[in-house]
Amino acid sequence: MKYGYITDPGRIRERNEDSVVILENENKEYLMVVADGMGGHKDGEVASSIAITHIATRFKEISSVGNKEDAINWIQGAVKEANAMIYKYVSLHPESQGMGTTMVLAVLTPAFLLIGNIGDSSGFVIKNNKLHKITVDHTLVNLLVKSGELTEEAAKNHPKKNVLMKALGASTDVEMDIFNVELGVQGILLCSDGLTNMLDNNQIVKVLNEKISIEEKLEKLIFKANNRGGNDNISIAYLNKEED
Q: List the chain domain ranges.
A: 2-240
What pLDDT is recorded for position 164?
Answer: 87
Asked whether the CA dihedral 40, 103, 30, 58 is positive or negative, the reply is positive
Query: Which of 22-31, 91-100, 158-167 is predicted least confidently?
Result: 158-167
Q: Which fold has domain 2-240?
A: Phosphatase 2c; domain 1 (3.60.40)
Side-by-side strand order, sheet with 2-8: 2-8, 234-240, 187-191, 122-127, 130-133
Can you give the pTM of this predicted structure?
A: 0.93
pLDDT tens digits along 144-167: 767 777 766 666 666 666 778 899
User: Which pLDDT band holds residue 143 (cuts at 50, 70, 90)?
Assistant: confident
Which residues are within 8 A (CB) of 205 and not within 5 positions of it... i.e. 6 or more apart?
126, 129, 130, 131
DSSP, collapsed to helix, strand or coil, labels residue 188 as strand
DSSP element (H, E) containing 175: none
Q: Is 239 helix (H, G, I), strand (E, B) or coil?
A: strand
Q: Say how many Å lie between the first and final Cα of the chain, rounded.
A: 5
- Asked if 18 and 233 count as a contact pair (C-beta separation under 8 A), the reply is yes
By the 8 A CB rule, do 147 and 166 touch?
no
- pLDDT 10s digits, 117-133: 999 999 999 999 999 99
